[in-house]
Amino acid sequence: MSLYTALLFLLVSEVLVTRASRDGPPGADGSRAGARRKRQECRYGDYNHKDNICCSCPAGEYVEKHCTQNNPTSTKCLKCDEGFYTASSNSLESCERCRSCNENLLQEVEINCTYTKNAECKCMEGHYCAEHECKSCLPCDKCDGRKIVQPCTNKSNTICERQDQRTDHSTAIAVAFAVLIILIALLSMAWCIWKKKCTRGPLQPPDEPDEYDKMNPLLRDIDLSPHLYTIVDELGHKTVKELAIRSGIAQATIDMHVDSYPNNIREQCYNILKDWYERQGLENACNVLNNELRKMGQKTSADKLIQTFSKHVNKNKESA
């Protein structure tokens, strides 16, 4: 055999060995390559389910049935029902309920809910929203004969020309009188408690376990939306998640909020609690929160929060 023939033989052998090692034998590695190819077929991304890679459902749909082993594209998706939505590709087993604009809070629909987007609310005419997310509406100020510097809009209150010194003096007297009345009321309550002649306050629910499911009429229609961060700070993330699970919120929904804010536990809990509040509705949310916390052994936190809500409600009534 000539030297040229020997060198050619060695070169061909090296090429064949290199290709064989790169492609690999059929079997487990081949299956993984197939799985990767199938995974690339997922148009809306993928997720893990029981150690399987499954294709996600698109926005506006949810997972009715997870995929089978080594078949990511076998995920079965269904379109959300009317009044429900999913805003992005997901692995949720149910759609999110659309936000309802509450007439009791002087809200009306600005953008209707679709299968892929939540509804957006705005204040009714003559009212404005003082928050970035419009959760409660306040009546626009009236200038009562004074010049309007800036009219009321959906996002800002009326700005009136400043009153003269006499009017400012009258306002100061009225404020001082209101503070005096409140101080007298607080001193009277303290005196009653000290003398042990006051009965249990109307906003404090009974302690007996069989009373935990009763609805206190004075806790109806209390808007908790301005207090969600206060509730989060009082309860902590463990209690917030336990409250959500006890109220029927899916673990997948909780995980979605956790994944959305991986480095901010407070925002995770705020969005979980926001979901919980929208599911309960304005009418029953305060009662449900109070009863559930007492069942969970969180009586002190329940009492503290109810006291905070009560002060806020009374303050709004006085300003109205």
224 belongs to a structural domain: yes
What pLDDT does 36 receive? 57
**Quick one: 113 and 76 in the same domain?**
no
**Quick one: 107 and 89 in the same domain?**
no
**Quick one: 226 and 300 in the same domain?**
yes
DSSP assignment of 162-209 equals PP-HHHHHHHHHHHHHHHHHHHHHHHHHHHHHHHT-----TTS---SG
Q: Indicate which CATH number applies to the domain containing 72.
A: 2.10.50.10
Q: Indicate which CATH number applies to the domain containing 246.
A: 1.10.533.10
Which pair of structure tokens corresponds to residue 260? Answer: 């959305």
DSSP assignment of 30-83 equals HHHHHHHHHHTT-TT-EEEETTEEEEPBPTTEEEEEPPBTTBGGG-EEEEPPTT
268 belongs to a structural domain: yes
Q: Integer distance in angstroms from the first to the last C-alpha of the chain?
A: 108
Residue 179 to residues 125, 182, 185, 241, Cα–Cα distance (Å): 32, 5, 10, 40
Domains held by the chain: number: 3
Can you give the pLDDT of all 320 residues of the chain as single tens digits? 565 665 666 665 665 545 544 444 444 444 455 555 555 689 999 999 988 999 999 999 999 999 998 899 999 999 999 999 999 999 999 999 999 888 888 889 999 999 999 999 888 999 998 777 677 788 999 888 888 899 998 888 889 988 664 466 667 788 888 898 998 988 888 887 876 554 444 444 444 444 555 667 767 777 787 888 988 898 888 898 898 898 888 898 888 888 888 889 899 888 888 888 888 876 778 888 888 889 989 889 888 888 888 887 777 777 66
**Quick one: 230 and 277 in the same domain?**
yes
**Quick one: 124 and 46 in the same domain?**
no
pTM for the complete prediction? 0.40
What pLDDT does 54 receive? 96
Q: Indicate which CATH number applies to the domain containing 131.
A: 2.10.50
What pLDDT does 311 receive? 80
Among all chains, which residue has been given the structure tokens 């079965």?
Answer: 76
272 belongs to a structural domain: yes
192 belongs to a structural domain: no
Domain span at 127 = 103-160
What pLDDT does 201 receive? 47
**Quick one: 125 and 221 in the same domain?**
no
What pLDDT does 210 receive? 45
190 belongs to a structural domain: no
Q: Which among 162, 144, 161, 160 is positioned nearest to 152, based on CA atoms?
A: 160
**Quick one: 217 and 270 in the same domain?**
yes
Among all chains, which residue has been given the structure tokens 């806020």?
Answer: 312
**Quick one: 61 and 139 in the same domain?**
no
125 belongs to a structural domain: yes
**Quick one: 78 and 137 in the same domain?**
no
What pLDDT does 65 receive? 96
**Quick one: 235 and 314 in the same domain?**
yes
Structural contact between residues 292 and 280, judged by C-beta atoms closer than 8 angstroms: no
166 belongs to a structural domain: no
Which pair of structure tokens corresponds to residue 84? Answer: 């429900």
Q: Which among 307, 226, 240, 302 is positioned nearest to 269, based on CA atoms?
A: 240
**Quick one: 89 and 109 in the same domain?**
no
59 belongs to a structural domain: yes
What pLDDT does 247 receive? 84
**Quick one: 38 and 81 in the same domain?**
yes
For residues 37-50, one letter each, b for 16 or more C-beta atoms within 10 angstroms of the residue's C-beta and e for the rest, the string is: ebeeebebebbeee
